[in-house]
Structure 1
Amino acid sequence: MTAALTERTVRGVAALDRAAQDVRQALGSVLDPELDEPITDLGFVRSIDVAGAADGAVVAVHLRLPTSFCSPNFAYLMASDSKDVVSALPWVGKVLVELDDHHDSALINAGLAADAGYRGTFGHEAEDSLDELRLMFRRKAHTAAMERCLSEQLRADPALTEMNVGTVRLGDLPPGRTKDALVRRRTALGLPAEPAAVVLVDHDGRPYPAEQVPLALRRARSTRISIDGNAHFCRGLLRTRYAGSGADQTDRPEGAEPADHHQLLPFTVKETNP
């Protein structure tokens, strides 16, 4: 092997490594809809393979989940989003995303390969659209983000009580990642995000009457605890199911907001079949 060929080979390997890193970064914008965390942080990305091609690189991504019976619609949403974000990379020519070891792997993988869309993949079993599913979990993520911000305020201000927490406005919140995350989620849902906007609101952005505020806050706390608890549980299940997968997981700092530094995907879904 000549020195020139060796150098070209090394450069080629380095380029493919950088490309794989770009793919992983793109996959970091894909969130588990129920856990509200990036699939890269959760360890759901099993492998990334990039191969050169004359008309653009060919990228193969394999995903894994904590159990074989994870909800098929959640699984499809994550796999479909993964294909979309990798396909959007300008140097990519073809993308293959496959879900491993799931009871609906064959069905989901075939639907993704054919770009059949959610309803085209699941047929009559697709009772709700992915738009509705996304909206439901974006609302849950927003509810949890509200609770994190208000609980911080309650801890920081002894004069603030659950009875009057409904008067807290975005402008009252100190700058930081929990506030930034709340603003992102409000923006994604089309809710007001100016400083005068009340923090504790329903799904339509309406503040609660004073007498309903304590109960609304407790319900929000229940949602937040459920999301955080499920995320912790799923991380443990994945480590149990796949030896060594813990090394692929990124634990967020204590008290940090899930997906702090990840952009939310556009609220659109490809559907080719009515």
Structure 2
Amino acid sequence: MSTPERDAFAALATVVDPELDEPITDLGFVRSLDVDGGRVEVHLRLPTSFCAPNFAYLMASDAKDALTALPWTGEVVVELDDHHDSDLINRGLAADAGYRGTFVHEARDSLDELRVTFKRKAHTAAVERVLTRLLRADRGLAETDLHLVTLGDLPADDATTALLRRRAAIGLGTDPALPVLVDADGTPCPPDEVPLRLRLARSTRISIEGNAHFCRGLLATRYDLEENAS
């Protein structure tokens, strides 16, 4: 049964940490969610007080946008707690100042550029994940033959669904006849580069998953200690 609280939480679940490629709800970054009629107030928390301000702002801003897009919301308040730039970020969010308006001279790069960079990394990791599963499932498939694998050759599982979603996010097609092993521009990998490309992609995937695991540990330690102390 749909309720305002569930709808709001589902909206927050669409917000992804750009570096970790996971929803902020799964990562435990949503500290509290309060719904009172058309007013929604959310408090976010991060693993450390010194997480990159641009990442912090991006997630907080995306959370506000996701909640504001709900048809029944009137006032949306999103605040970031316990960060060294909390006051600055929260003032910028309240004023709808945008990233550059919030950080002014410190905002050298646009958030759009940041989004693109991490969406491409997420796509790379997703490619490696589906191809590695394919190799493990079919021992007769050689690594050097992976350039021949198309989207239609992939099983209908969670990894394939995630890959299709990440392809769409960077503007790539999802036709079953398209090759899986492509770069962010959709250019197929040459056969002789497959082993190297796969190793690089594996490094990207391991880095993303390792960072997510590390951040979960930091978050649990930070807030468990604080809660126990109180």
Please tell me whether residue 117 in structure 1 is matched to residue 102 in structure 2: no
Aligned to 1:92, the other structure's residue is in SS state coil
Aligned amino acid, residue 27 of structure 1: L
Query: Which runs of no fewer than 5 residues in structure 2 stay unpaired?
Result: none
Aligned to 2:74, the other structure's residue is in SS state strand
Alignment partners' CA distance in 1, 2:11 and 2:173? 28
Query: Which runs of no fewer than 5 residues in structure 1 stay unpaired?
Result: 1-16, 246-274
What's the % identity of the aligned pairs? 68
Q: 2:138 matched to which residue of 1? A: 157
Q: Which has the higher contact order (CA 8 A, sep 6+)?
A: 1
TM-score where L is the length of structure 1? 0.79
Q: 2:198 matched to which residue of 1? A: 217
Q: Please show how residues 1-274 of structure 1 align to structure 2 within 5 Å.
A: 18-52=3-37, 57-243=38-224
Task: Note the alpha carbon deviations across 1:193-244, whole angstroms, 9 max, x for none.
Answer: 1111111111111011111111011000001001111111111110000129
Alignment partners' CA distance in 1, 2:209 and 2:142? 24
TM-score where L is the length of structure 2? 0.94
Alignment partners' CA distance in 1, 2:16 and 2:72? 23
State the 4+ residue runs in structure 1 displaced beyond 3 angstroms.
none
Task: Note the alpha carbon deviations across 1:102-123, whole angstroms, 9 max, x for none.
Answer: 0111110010000000110111
Task: Note the alpha carbon deviations across 1:11-48, whole angstroms, 9 max, x for none.
Answer: xxxxxx93222211110110111111111111100011
Alignment partners' CA distance in 2, 1:90 and 1:209? 48
Pair member with larger Rg: 1
| Count of aligned pairs between the two proteins | 225
Residue 167 (structure 1) shift: 1.4
Aligned amino acid, residue 26 of structure 2: D
Aligned to 2:189, the other structure's residue is in SS state coil
Aligned amino acid, residue 62 of structure 1: H
- When you count helix as a share of all residues, which structure comes out higher? 2
